[in-house]
Amino acid sequence: MAVVYFVVLVGVLIFVHELGHFAWAKFFGVKVLKFSLGFGPRIAGVQRGDTEYVIAAFPLGGYVRMLGENPNDTVSPEDAGRSFAEQPLWKRFVIVLAGPAMNLAFPILLYFVVFLGVAAERTPPVIGTVFPDRPAAEHLMPGDRIVAIDGDEIATWDGLGEHVEPSAGRALVFTIERDGQQLERSITPTWSEEERPLELSARLGRIGVMPYHPLAVIGITSPSQPAAAAGLRSFDRVVAAGGRPIERWIDLQAVLERNRGSMLPITYLRPQRLTDVLSGLADLDLYEPHVATLTPEGGSGSGIDRAGLESSDLYVARVVAGSAEHRAGLLPGDRLLTLDDQPIRMWAQFLEDVRAHAGDERTLAWKHNDQEITRRIRLTCDRTVEGGVISYRYGIEHFAPTTVDAPVPHPSPVSFALRESLSATWQMIELTGVSLVRLFQGRVSPREVGGPLEIARQAQIAARGGSLDFLALMAFISINLGLLNLLPIPVLDGGHLFFFAVEGVSRRPVSRRLRELASLTGLAMLVIVMVLVFTNDVARQWPDIVAAFEALE
């Protein structure tokens, strides 16, 4: 199936590319002799008017053959003025440019379909998490619904971002819905650097909120507190309390807030590693149901505090063996306290700090049972970039699963899809262009370049994810194809455009001999590149290739 997906993906993009050349040639009255999808032996074809339309055996390219494109072409008197060579320079330039331009414009349509497909399921503008020490911290609470900003109705989380991202430094009036009442709050977004691949970054306005609600996964503040006495442990997930279903952390908070020292039945799920049961035969989590009776302390504090509970967010769930954190003595179940004597208030902010000072030795304090431990540690932060996605590996992990409110349809799906498709296309053009520059600078390894085998593998993966994933991949490959064709390499469209530019400056065509030598050089360069990408593909997929041959045996 990978071959089928590859042929479909590449075939569509080749057709779009050659259609650009073909359409503009026809528009300018140039006689087109052949429109071929693929190279090599002809599989099928038909003659329509002046043009022969052909499907060839090897779907790795295509071409539009125009009269007069080859200097050896004989132009009959009836075709006078219809050859490519007879066209003014600007028309020849447009005809050649049209192919790559179509590949760069086609993703707008593809992304439009993708975003139109997802417009029916958008995240609602309900606050799930508020970051401490950020602009929203004093004004918004988890569970608040953003109704409007500066009087403009907000229906989705995307709408919230559209108002906040370009408004750093400018006060915005938020109309929020909380407990059935509407309130107004003035919040001023601050600039935030968003890291992107290839050392790129974007400055966007942020207020410090996310739509993700932490689930009711608990941490035990002290062995002497009511929660511990009831038999609860850190990382237990509460699913019911006092006969009410519980999913989000704020749901548990609300139930405990109403409880003033009375017994409260709790139903919870306790994670248990399958390795504990199967002696290392598997490495998965099972969830065992349990019931406990929790009796929070009386008094005036919050219900969560009186029960001796907190979110599991700052509790270490896993320590990577051999990491600096492991050598320092951090253990699963420990609770992070301070970093360089500053309180750690949220795991996501802790990771931000670790990334900002990667490689530095830091002072980390944590609590083990009721004992506080402090160590100087060079915290683990390994950065990798794969497929344009930046990821980090840390020495410790937490367990704080999240959820979002039920999706809602976008109120203006067409305008949303058009806006996002234009933005996505431009961002991908920028990213691909910078990738090419970094490659020539030696700052991106040639080993990261993929070829036909990698495209086929990615096409199969995308197809398994659904038609929208496949279209998004097609848009990405189309942009790559368009920009690569614009490189000033003879044989490619960019090489022809370069010769046209020289002709425009010098007022005379580049000599035939020079063009032929340049074409041979360009062909040699393409062969070298193809060998490189094929070698990369084989090296990247060698285990799968070996497995396939073993299966045949």
Catalytic residue check, 86: no
- Within a 10 A sphere around the Cβ of 359, how many other Cβ atoms? 7
Nearest to 267 by CA among 235, 290, 284: 290
Q: How far is CA 508 from CA 86, 90, 492, 504, 511, in A?
A: 14, 14, 21, 7, 9
**Residue 290 contacts by C-beta under 8 Å, 6 or more apart in sequence?**
231, 236, 267, 268, 269, 270
Set 18, 69, 310, 420: catalytic member: 18
DSSP states of 286-341: EEEEEEEEE----SSS-HHHHHTEEEGGGBEEEE-TTSHHHHHT--TT-EEEEETT
Confirm if 311 and 221 have CB atoms less than 8 A apart: no
Q: For 547, list phi and psi in degrees, rounded to 5.
A: -60, -40
Confirm if 347 and 337 have CB atoms less than 8 A apart: no
Confirm if 160 and 125 have CB atoms less than 8 A apart: yes
The one-character DSSP state at 248 is B
d(CA 506, CA 50): 34
Nearest to 51 by CA among 16, 74, 27, 22: 22
The one-character DSSP state at 84 is G
- Within a 10 A sphere around the Cβ of 274, how many other Cβ atoms? 14
Residues with a catalytic annotation lie at: 18
